[in-house]
Amino acid sequence: MDAYFAHSMIEKEDFEKMEQYILDHVPAEDFAAVRKNLKPTSIILEEATDKAYHEGAVLEHGCPVEIRKSLEPLEKRLPDVVGIGFAKCGTGTLQFLDCHPSVTMRSTEPKFYNSKNAFDIIQFDGEGTPEKYDYLKKIEITAGKDKQKFLKFSKTVLTVNPKKQYAGSAALDVAKAMKILNPKTKIIGIACDPIKRVYSQFAMKNRRTEFKTSDGMDEEAIHKCRACLNKDLNETIKDFTENAQRLLDNGGNSPGFDEYARALEPFVEQFGDENVLLLDGENLITQPNQEWARLLEFLGLNKESMKFYIDEEKGFPCLEKPVKYCLNGAKGTSRKIDVRQEYPEDTAIWRKSFSPKIKEMILFKKICNKIDEKCCQKLRDEKSSFSWAHEYACLDV
């Protein structure tokens, strides 16, 4: 066991305390297997390459300790559950799933379901040859350097591929490819208040610019960095607002960050609405146990098997059961700013711009059957999922 600590972020003394806590809270029927499998999670990268996104070391799995209840042989296989986005809506919280004894999830997912691989999979499936393809073997050929990231897991453990942005223009092909390889795949999306999402995205890009500048990157290189903010944060917000107003004036679409229904549609088409869960990213922060109960039930897991508490200092939820654990400090930093208070005139324009697409989301995922007084009364309840949608959907109701 001592060899594990050389490649983990946990000291032996701390692990022993965590071990005792976990074993004190694990169900009796899982005790022996969990105790046998329990070990610190290995570090795969000593320092994250993107400090704006991840602070400190990057672990092989989402949880700092490996809590597994299965003793069955391991095999290389595709994920049972795939997260399809959306950026800055709390997708990082899915890492907590790896702390569940029946789930395993990598911290960094292979970039496998891209447009090229999706096209190849669809092509393989359409060749009509009599023998049954070993698709996983085909995947390893096409996935290149990512093939090593498909690790071995027990058949009885749910595997989760987290937070990959599969909600782009090639989403339909991606959804078709997923269904070909694993028709029982479950899909998770996390939607959040688009006003907060916009600010969070700009703030992260601004942090990235600051980090790269402090690391010695020159102005020309910063300007070429697509993931960086190339101008002042306030100026960026002003430009975004002007674009939103221009689109409103011309009766056009919003400037983005709100197209949840459109992004989910290909996956609902392929897997059915019952296999596509849309979580409320705001409720994951304010009512974590309520929202996680929805997720665990969707995955066929005991709703009581994971519990959370709000860390007063962080202002964000931390895991309490089956192990006490908080996400790294880079998560949620921009959420501490009240963007509506800081930019009241800008966000008023954003709200009008986002309103139609949020109404579309509400109807598409059947949060309400129609936008009426009954729906608005439901959304007005702050303890309800998607209560943040009230100000977008009920402007004229």
With residue 194 as reference, give the H or E element that holds it. helix 194-214
Q: Which residues are catalytic?
A: 88
Mark the binding-site residues for 3'-phosphoadenylyl sulfate, compressed into ranges: 200
**Inter-helix orientation angle 344-364/260-271, to 10°:** 20
Share of the chain above pLDDT 90, in %: 53
pLDDT band at residue 34 under the 50/70/90 scheme? very high
- pLDDT at 250 (0 to 100): 92
Q: 278: which strand partners? A: 189
| Spatial contact of 138 and 94, defined as CB atoms under 8 Å apart | no
CA 142 to CA 148: how far, in whole Å?
12
Contacts for 206 with CB less than 8 Å, ≥ 6 apart: 229, 233, 236
- pLDDT at 143 (0 to 100): 46
- pLDDT tens digits, 109-127: 666 777 777 887 788 777 6
pLDDT band at residue 164 under the 50/70/90 scheme? low
- pLDDT tens digits, 169-187: 688 999 998 898 889 999 9
- pLDDT at 92 (0 to 100): 85
- pTM value is 0.90
* DSSP-assigned letter for residue 71: -
Q: For the chain, what is the mean pLDDT? A: 85
- pLDDT tens digits, 360-385: 999 999 999 999 999 999 999 988 99
The residue ranking higher by pLDDT, 246 or 220, is 246
Q: What is the per-residue burial (b if ≥16 Cβ within 10 Å, else e) of 328-352?
A: bebbbbbbeeebbeebeebbebbbe
pLDDT band at residue 299 under the 50/70/90 scheme? very high
Measured over the CA atoms of residue 356, residue 259, residue 98 and residue 319, the dihedral's sign is negative
The residue ranking higher by pLDDT, 307 or 149, is 307
Rounded to an integer, the average pLDDT of 299-318 is 92
- pLDDT tens digits, 255-279: 989 999 999 999 999 999 999 999 9
Contacts for 349 with CB less than 8 Å, ≥ 6 apart: 241, 244, 245, 248
Tell how many helices (H) and how many strands (E) occur in the chain. Answer: 16, 13
Specify burial of residue 219 (Cβ count, 10 A radius: 0-12, 13-18, 19+).
exposed
Share of the chain above pLDDT 70, in %: 84
The full set of domains in the chain, from first to last, is: 66-193+263-330 (3.40.50.300), 194-258+336-393 (no CATH)
- pLDDT at 150 (0 to 100): 57
CA 397 to CA 394: how far, in whole Å?
5
CA 342 to CA 362: how far, in whole Å?
28
Residue whose C-alpha is closest to residue 350's, from 254, 260, 231: 254
What is the CB-side half-sphere exposure of residue 101 using CA atoms within 13 A? Answer: 25
